[in-house]
Amino acid sequence: MTAPSTIRVAVVEDDSRLRRTFTDILESADDCECVGVFATGEQAMSRIPPLAPDVIIMDVNLPDSSGVECVAALAPRLPDTQILMVTVYQDPETTFNVLAAGAHGYLVKPVMKEHLLAAIREVRGGGVPMSPTIARKVIQTFRRREPAAAAPGKTSLSGKAGAPHATAAHAADEESLAPREQQVLELLVKGYSYKEVSKELGISTSTVGTYVQRIYEKLHVSSRREMMARSRRGAT
């Protein structure tokens, strides 16, 4: 029987050797339990929700879909589950797309046993574990975006001066979207997954992710939830 303090972990990894390694690491820890191991995105999206694990270890590169798509599909269905990306990808675009889709941490392979277990415990406790290289990229990204976000800052310290213009600002931001970006936004607001948007528009899921990144930048948001709320406010 699982102890109350045990962290229930699911693994999504296409490499059989790494699946075995992750399983061994989890089984060696007194406070962790592996509740499922999956090799494809389809398996993960259909079989993980009923398990409701505390933490999901997720790879980015899967044989039938992307980890970004899996995160985007699973995060809304499992609001109490923390998703920890463990991948070889370190480029800013992948990092941004994964975190924007709903991941709670990002580690770069290879990951030492003690580091992986520490990250699982940290993310379960509400932290955001990241490999140092990823943390630096995230900080650099926000520093680059800060002037743009602050530019409309004719707001007083009380934050009230700019409030009457909020709706106009939302509308202006959405008008800056290119036609294809607007199409992607409309489908995502309707609840489409990255894969469904890909099929609907005839583009790859990675291209969908690129459009989403541009939409986030133009709307000055950092998550799908914020994007949808921003869009809906602008429509009222």
pLDDT in tens, 132-155: 877 776 666 655 554 444 444 444
Residue 186 has pLDDT above 50, yes or no: yes
Query: For residue 168, is pLDDT > 70?
Result: no
pLDDT of 170 higher than 90: no
The yes or no reply on domain 7-136 and CATH 3.40.50.620 is: no
pLDDT per residue as tens digits for the range 209-222: 778 777 877 777 66
What SS3 class is residue 203? coil
Determine the CATH number of domain 164-235: 1.10.10.10
Q: Hey, is 184 helix, strand or coil?
A: helix
pLDDT digits 0-9 by tens, 102-132:
899 999 999 999 999 999 999 999 888 888 8
Which pLDDT does position 177 carry in this prediction? 78
What was the pLDDT predicted at 59? 94
Residue boundaries of the structural domains of the chain: 7-136, 164-235
Band (228; pLDDT cuts 50, 70, 90): low
pLDDT at 156 > cutoff 60: no
Q: The whole model's pTM is what? A: 0.61
| Complete edge-to-edge strand list for the sheet that includes strand 32-38 | 32-38, 7-12, 55-58, 82-87, 105-108
| Residue 46 to residue 42: CA distance in whole angstroms | 6
44-86 tens-digit pLDDT: 999 999 999 999 999 998 988 888 989 999 998 999 999 999 9
Based on C-alpha coordinates, what's the Rg of the chain?
19
Domains 7-136 and 164-235 share a fold: no
Closest by CA position to 100, among listed 231, 203, 220, 234:
220
The mean pLDDT value of the chain amounts to 79
What value does the mean pLDDT take over residues 173-194? 76
Segments of the chain assigned E as strands: 7-12, 32-38, 55-58, 82-87, 105-108
On the question of pLDDT at 164 being above 50, the answer is: no
| Confidence band for 197, pLDDT divided at 50, 70 and 90 | confident
